[in-house]
Amino acid sequence: GAGVSQSPRYKVTKRGQDVALRCDPISGHVSLYWYRQALGQGPEFLTYFNYEAQQDKSGLPNDRFSAERPEGSISTLTIQRTEQRDSAMYRCASSSGGELFFGEGSRLTVL
């Protein structure tokens, strides 16, 4: 596609529910990143894929967070048993050759 596409754009869920956030990167981009951004702060690294391989997941806050990219294109970030502190903007970015391009983000609100 023309840009990085994320869905849903907005998600409101109740505490304890699972959520799945989707990222469709720019066509041909081999690298895919997930970031989380709290209001007024810069993005915080969560995880990184090179093709389908998850190269780094050191930024995932705990084991309720997981991500996959099974065919080296679309990626899903899953948060299990959501908690209020998980509320944030979740951003996906893709790159090919260094420059990162971000999607619009998925704003998650956990009630």
**Interface positions with another protein (CB under 8 A):** 31, 33, 41-43, 45, 48, 55-56, 89, 91, 98-102, 104-105, 107
Of 41 and 84, nearer to another protein (C-beta) is: 41
At its nearest, how many Å lie between another protein and the CB of residue 23? 14
At its nearest, how many Å lie between another protein and the CB of residue 60? 14
Give how far Cα 76 sits from Cα of 25, 41, 97, Å. 11, 23, 22
Long-range contacts of the stretch 48-54 (C-beta < 8 A, 24+): 49/75
> What pairs with residue 79 in β-bridges?
19, 65
Q: Is 67 in contact with 47 (CB distance < 8 Å)?
A: yes
Of 26 and 80, nearer to another protein (C-beta) is: 26
Question: At 59, is the secondary structure helix, strand, or coil?
Answer: coil
At its nearest, how many Å lie between another protein and the CB of residue 102? 4
Of 20 and 26, nearer to another protein (C-beta) is: 26
Angle at 40 between CA 14 and CA 6, to 5 degrees: 55
At its nearest, how many Å lie between another protein and the CB of residue 75? 16
